[in-house]
């Protein structure tokens, strides 16, 4: 499958948003998305979610003869795979540039930093050593695979337990998990990658780019650091020129982020340890069900509402004050709120009377969301229709009848139908087309 | 959609709610049945209005990506007022709103930007600013329903332009980047929020 191309509109919009220091999901420039770590039933299996990006890591081990030039060291093997379910552009079996780059980065980060003590993996010098294999699978691509993969890798390695081994002379006994508790790997430190995306020739900087931001970025800087503020790996790609103090600033930011993430990892590992000890249920079967698609849950993302105040003020001053206020059936007693389920048709009679009132009813009557009293405002800005404000009669076919009531003290929230002409025109056109389309079926 | 004719009867091919619309007064066709199903991947259907992204210009024809398995083709003459001399100004990466002329599973789909009477009626190149994003098809159909409160509620907040494509793509433009982002987030979240949560969110926003 081919990936969807990025349109000029999106590119322009994203760059403009970045210039105004706004990100699509409301984060700040230096904010990370939520990191969630969940462990599987086996030791060494974990899933890390960075926002919507998901990586699955699995560690396994086996006894093999060592490399001839390093008879006393164990072997580490890292493998990252971009599965086609991660993004439509990924195809199986294709060795893309991105894949190679990611693999190299993960390897350098974990191998060259010597975070794992390979000498401890030696069983019999020259004959048998442990080969640790870390497999990373990308399950969902929403930007910043590197960070997620590095976190997943290090967490899986910390979580992993290898079978205990004892050597007596020439005899090597490998104990099964039932006989002796498996032994964790000896890990010196936890290197974590942090990515920085640069835009406009290095003028703007974002931490943890999402997929859209990655498409429009100029360059990427990845710094792998551990919590002792030692830089393990640093890589800059994309060919941007970076000034020295930018790099230093990035490394300071990395230090902060790495400290946070390391803490999170420790906590997650401890939790898992506790659960296993207490014999509670662990594994994916526990942690994953909340995320089923049919559960229809989404993380509540804070919607940034800054600037809305001024706009609201503007709108209010522009609109005419409500001309008439019907003291008529105020359809609620102040203070009661009836929301939704099961309360149908209690407003049945009132609805009808309102409908009669609303004489000029067009296809898209703007039933307001906020009901105060029944107000009739004449909008001078739109000459086409006088919009009546009915109290909400929300008869969406899929939703139950919902009437939201608010205290009457809201006359200043006038409905200004300052909708642009295009919007209602296009809406009208849509509705017409919609009807046409329905007829066509 | 979702149903298929098979000899004498009907077969259901998708899971979802079965819906029925009675025939209107003047139309000749009888009532329509269809199945409302929820999905994200779009399959081109004749007569659907979609938003496409221009990927290539090949002589007289533009290739558009509409999110289906094939790219759709769009002739440069299929715009209102276009002649051989007067070509529309379309670049690679532009957004186009058009409808499908031909869309079956055997052929590459074709799109046009004029309707049967030769007028553009809102179709054509979509302006430069604004933001495009993707949602599931069910949400689009909900938004296109005749009395959709989501759009009405949103229009209470501030004015904006909105183009909905049946392929799951929505283009939004508001006065500032900030407002556009708010609208985008609300529309994306509408998929999962119940009506009351939505009202709470909007109340919070406009009460600020």
The owner of tokens 């199986």 is A92
| pLDDT tens readout for residues A211-237 | 888 888 888 888 888 888 888 888 888
Q: Which of B53, B160, B196 sits opposite A423 (nearest CB)?
A: B160
Lowest-pLDDT choice from A176-190, A287-301, A374-388, B47-61: A374-388
Predicted confidence (pLDDT) at residue A177 exceeds the cutoff of 80:
no
Quick one: tokens of A97?
């540039």
Please answer whether residues A205 and A250 qualify as being in contact, where contact means their C-beta atoms are separated by less than 8 angstroms.
Answer: yes
Cβ contact A223:A208 at 8 Å? no
Q: pLDDT per residue over A98-130, tens digit each?
A: 888 888 888 888 888 888 888 888 888 888 888
- Reference A130, options A204, A236, A52, A44; nearest CA is A44
Domain range list for chain B: 3-36, 48-125, 131-206
Q: Is residue B128 within 8 angstroms of chain A, CB to CB?
A: yes
Inter-helix orientation angle B177-190/B149-157, to 10°: 160
- In chain B, the percentage of residues whose pLDDT exceeds 90 is 0
- CATH architecture group of domain B131-206: 2-Layer Sandwich (3.30)
Listed range (A204-213, A325-334, B19-28, B41-50) with the worst mean pLDDT = A325-334
Provide the 8-state DSSP code for B107.
S
Average pLDDT, chain A: 69
3-class secondary structure per residue, B127-195: CCCCEEEECCHHHHHHHHCCCCHHHHHHHHHCCEEEEECCCCEEEEEECCHHHHHHHHHHHHHHCCCCH
Q: Which residue of A has its CA nearest to B141?
A: A434
* CB A17, CB A25: distance < 8 Å: no
Q: Dihedrals φ, ψ of A237, to 5°?
A: -130, 160
Region A353-364 average pLDDT = 38
Q: What is the pLDDT of residue A380?
A: 36
Q: What is the DSSP pairing of strand A219-225 with strand A204-207? A: unpaired
Q: How confident is the model at residue B21 (pLDDT cuts 50, 70, 90)?
A: low
Tell me, yes or no, if B2 comes closer than 8 A to chain A by beta carbon: no
Average pLDDT of the residues in B25-47? 63
Name the residue among A16, A298, A306 with its Cβ closest to that of B192. Answer: A298
Which residues, at least 6 apart from B58, have a Cβ–Cβ distance to it below 8 Å? none
A16 → closest Cβ in B122, B177, B193: B177
| B56 in A contact zone (CB under 8 Å) | no
Task: Give mean pLDDT, residues A47-64.
Answer: 87
Class (C level, CATH) for B48-125: mainly beta
Continuous H helices in A278-358: 284-287, 308-318, 348-357
Quick check: B5 contacting A, CB < 8 Å? no
pLDDT at A296: 40
> What is the DSSP track for A129-185?
EEEEEEEEEEEE-SS-HHHHHHHHHHHHHHH-EEPPEEEETTEEEEPPTTTS--EE-
As given in the structure block, the two tokens for residue A236 are 């800059």
Say how far residue A146 (Cα) sits from the centre of its chain.
Answer: 15
Does the structure show a pLDDT above 70 at B137?
Answer: yes
pLDDT above 60: residue B138: yes
Residue-range domain boundaries for chain A: 15-280
Higher-confidence residue of A324 and A191: namely A191
Domain A15-280 in CATH 3.40.50.300: no
Q: Which residue has the tokens 């699955």?
A: A56
pLDDT number for residue A377:
38
The verdict on ipTM greater than 0.90 is: no
Inspect the interface and report whether the beta carbons of A307 and B186 lie closer than 8 Å: no
Does the distance separating the beta carbons of B155 and A367 come in below 8 Å? Answer: no
pLDDT band at A414 (very low <50, low <70, confident <90, very high): very low
Question: What pLDDT sits at residue A297?
Answer: 42
Q: What is the pTM of this model?
A: 0.67
Measured between alpha carbons, how far is residue B122 from residues A12, A240, B86, B145, B163 in Å? 23, 42, 19, 18, 10
């Amino acid at each position: 499958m081919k990936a969807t191309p990025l349109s000029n509109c999106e590119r322009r919009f994203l760059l403009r948003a970045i210039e105004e220091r706004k990100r699509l999901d409301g984060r700040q420039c230096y904010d990370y998305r939520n990191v969630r770590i969940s462990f599987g039933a086996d030791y060494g299996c974990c899933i890390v979610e960075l926002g919507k990006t998901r990586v699955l890591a699995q560690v396994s081990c086996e006894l093999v003869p060592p490399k001839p030039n390093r008879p006393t060291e164990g072997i580490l093997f890292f493998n990252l795979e971009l599965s086609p379910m991660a993004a439509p552009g990924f195809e199986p079996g294709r060795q893309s540039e991105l894949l190679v780059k990611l693999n190299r980065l993960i390897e350098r980060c974990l191998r060259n930093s010597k975070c794992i003590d390979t000498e401890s993996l030696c069983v019999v010098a020259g004959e048998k050593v442990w080969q640790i294999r870390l497999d990373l699978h990308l399950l969902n691509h929403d930007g910043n695979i590197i960070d997620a993969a590095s976190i997943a890798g290090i967490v899986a390695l910390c979580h992993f337990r290898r079978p205990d081994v004892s050597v007596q002379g020439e005899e090597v006994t490998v104990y099964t998990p039932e006989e002796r508790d498996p032994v964790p790997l000896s890990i010196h430190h936890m290197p974590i990658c942090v990515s920085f995306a640069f835009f406009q020739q290095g003028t703007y900087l974002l931490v943890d780019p999402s997929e859209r931001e990655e498409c429009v970025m100029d360059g990427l800087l990845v710094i792998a650091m551990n919590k002792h503020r030692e830089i393990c790996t640093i890589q800059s790609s994309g060919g941007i020129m970076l000034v020295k103090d930018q790099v230093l600033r990035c490394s300071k930011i990395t230090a902060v982020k790495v400290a946070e993430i390391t803490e999170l990892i420790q906590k997650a590992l401890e939790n898992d340890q506790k659960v296993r000890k207490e014999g509670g249920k662990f594994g994916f079967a526990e942690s994953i069900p909340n995320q089923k698609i049919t559960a229809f849950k989404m993380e509540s993302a804070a919607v940034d509402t800054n600037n809305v105040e001024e706009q609201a003020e503007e709108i209010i001053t522009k609109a005419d004050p409500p001309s008439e206020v019907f003291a008529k059936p105020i359809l609620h007693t102040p203070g009661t709120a009836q929301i939704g389920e099961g309360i149908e048709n209690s407003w049945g009679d009132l609805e009808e009377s309102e409908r009669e009132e609303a004489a000029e009813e067009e296809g898209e009557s703007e039933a307001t969301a906020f009901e105060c009293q029944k107000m009739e405002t004449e909008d001078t800005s739109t000459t086409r229709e006088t919009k009546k404000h009915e109290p909400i009669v929300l008869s969406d076919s899929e939703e139950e009848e919902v009437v939201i009531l608010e205290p009457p003290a809201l006359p200043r929230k006038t409905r200004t139908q300052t909708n642009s002409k295009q919007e209602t025109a296009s809406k009208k056109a849509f509705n017409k087309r919609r009807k046409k389309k329905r007829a066509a079926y | 959609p979702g149903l298929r004719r098979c000899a004498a009867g009907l077969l259901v091919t998708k899971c979802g709610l079965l819906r029925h619309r009675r025939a209107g007064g003047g139309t000749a066709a009888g009532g329509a049945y269809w199945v409302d199903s929820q999905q994200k991947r779009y399959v081109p259907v004749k007569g659907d209005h979609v938003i496409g992204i221009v990927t290539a210009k090949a002589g007289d024809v533009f290739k558009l990506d509409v999110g289906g398995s094939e790219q759709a083709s769009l002739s440069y003459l299929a715009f209102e007022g276009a002649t051989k001399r007067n070509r529309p100004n379309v670049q690679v990466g532009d957004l186009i709103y058009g409808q499908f002329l031909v869309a079956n599973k055997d052929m590459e789909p074709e799109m046009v930007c004029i309707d049967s009477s030769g007028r553009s009626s809102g179709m054509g190149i979509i302006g430069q600013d604004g933001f495009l994003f993707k949602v599931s098809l069910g949400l689009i159909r909900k938004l296109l329903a005749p009395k959709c409160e989501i759009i009405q509620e949103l229009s209470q907040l501030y004015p904006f332009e909105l183009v909905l494509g049946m392929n799951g793509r929505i283009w939004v433009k508001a006065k500032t980047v900030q407002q556009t982002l708010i609208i985008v987030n609300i529309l994306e979240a509408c998929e999962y929020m119940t009506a009351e949560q939505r009202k709470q969110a909007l109340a919070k926003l406009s009460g600020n």
